[in-house]
Amino acid sequence: MNALSIRNLRKTYNNGFEALKGIDLDVAEGDFFALLGPNGAGKSTAIGIISSLVNSTRGQVSIFGHDINTERSKAKCCLGVVPQEVNFNQFDTVKSIVFNQAGYYGIPRKRAIERTEICLKQMDLWEKRDTVSRRLSGGMKRRVMIARAMVHEPKLLILDEPTAGVDIEIRRSMWKMMQALNDNGTTIILTTHYLEEAESLCRNIAIIDQGNIVENTDMAALLARLHVDHFVLDLAEPLLTIPSIEGYQLESITDKVLNVTVPKVIGLNALFNELSRLNIRVSSLKNKSNRLEQLFMDLIDSSSEGNR
């Protein structure tokens, strides 16, 4: 069964702006799915409709087989949403935010207390349970929203840019947490502007632009379309002049760090043979994580050209 199924979803706002132009999308149960797109592409509108915050103009949305219009209550019980911006009462304590949300889902008091504790401990917020939420850091506020979204044990969790504006350490801990939720069977739909985040976490991807789905495939197939890879070489000694090696594009980042563009058909062996011949010693090599970014830009550019 699909966790999410969208058919011919359209949204035209009162000012005439057509945010969604009839999108179709399926997300399989258990998937970790990336929904990407530039600002204003229609991602937030789609998420708003799925989560009953925006009225659609036309089309159908079902969550685990429950239509959001005809079986609204069942559909809502399957869904948890972590919005882009903080939307809880900043004068409430962390515990009351999560506990009250359990109440809105009809969870009895005793079970709500247990679930609140479980979710806050999962998000590493139990020590902060009695803190008034406005006193929390940005990363903690986002974790409160995740705990709140998880309190009724939804089978589908939508995370709308959950790591926007948080530091690298918190971002990585949130990646681990999202991965753990997915490993435990929760279907996750993630929107993000950090493309390496989508690349490393998600198995399937849809790209939305100007109200249309311009790509919907699995991550591996999408990345396989790249003809080149980018690597960063750390050199043992400083390099005075950048060598010219046929088939490869080399550029200097510092005198001891090189950025190399490698066509997939050639591979790396010839590069290392030539570097050895030139007596250039490489101490380490790492893949540059911008593969999805390049594809993303190509897709958005071609979508824009198609609309011109």
Partner 1 sequence: MNVLIPLRTIIVKEIVRFVRIWPQTLLPPAITTSLYFLIFGKLIGSRLGVIEGASYMDYIVPGIILMSVISHSYANVVSSFYSTKFQRNIEELLVAPVPNWVILAGYISGGVIRGLLVGIVVTLISLFFTEIAVQNIFITLSIALLTAILFALAGFINAILAESFDDISIIPNFVLTPLSYLGGVFYSVGMLPDIWQTISKANPILYMVNTFRFGLIGVTDVNIEFAYLITSGFIVIAVFFSLLMLHKGIGIKN
279 binds partner 1 (CB under 8 A): no
Name the CA radius of gyration of the chain, rounded.
23
224 binds partner 1 (CB under 8 A): no
Interface residue with partner 1 among 5, 62, 101, 192 (CB under 8 A) is 101
Q: How far is the CB of 250 from partner 1 (least distance, A)?
A: 50
Q: Is the dihedral of CA 118, 120, 123, 124 positive or negative?
A: negative
Which residue from 216, 189, 217, 211 is spatially nearest to 58, judged by alpha carbons?
Answer: 211
Token output for 200? 């490393």
Q: How far is the CB of 254 from partner 1 (least distance, A)?
A: 46
Stretch 5-44: interaction string toward partner 1, x if CB under 8 A: --------x-------------------------------
Q: CB-based burial of residue 301 (10 Å sphere; 0-12 exposed, 13-18 middle, 19+ buried)?
A: exposed
**E-assigned strand segments in the chain:** 2-12, 18-28, 32-36, 58-63, 66-67, 79-82, 156-160, 187-191, 204-209, 212-218, 228-235, 249-254, 257-263, 282-287
Q: By C-beta, is 87 or 287 nearer to partner 1?
A: 87
Q: How far is the CB of 289 from partner 1 (least distance, A)?
A: 33
Q: How far is the CB of 307 from partner 1 (least distance, A)?
A: 24
Determine phi and psi for 49, rounding to 5 degrees: -70, -45
AA identity, residue 170: I
89 binds partner 1 (CB under 8 A): yes
Determine the Cα–Cα distance for residues 141 and 164; give it in Å rounded to an integer. 12
52 binds partner 1 (CB under 8 A): yes
4 binds partner 1 (CB under 8 A): no
87 binds partner 1 (CB under 8 A): yes
Interface residue with partner 1 among 104, 281, 302, 307 (CB under 8 A) is 104
Considering only residues 133 to 152 of the shown chain, the ones binding partner 1 according to CB under 8 A are: 148, 152
79 binds partner 1 (CB under 8 A): yes
H and E: helices and strands count for the chain: 10, 14
- Count of residues of this chain found to bind partner 1 when the rule CB under 8 A is applied: 33
Asked if 116 and 103 touch (Cβ cutoff 8 Å), the reply is no
Considering only residues 228 to 257 of the shown chain, the ones binding partner 1 according to CB under 8 A are: none
Contact stretch for partner 1 (CB under 8 A) within 87-95, 173-181, 186-194, 289-297: 87-95
- Under the rule (CB under 8 A), what is the footprint of partner 1? 13, 45, 48, 51-55, 72-74, 76-77, 79, 81, 83, 85, 87-90, 96, 100-101, 103-109, 148, 152
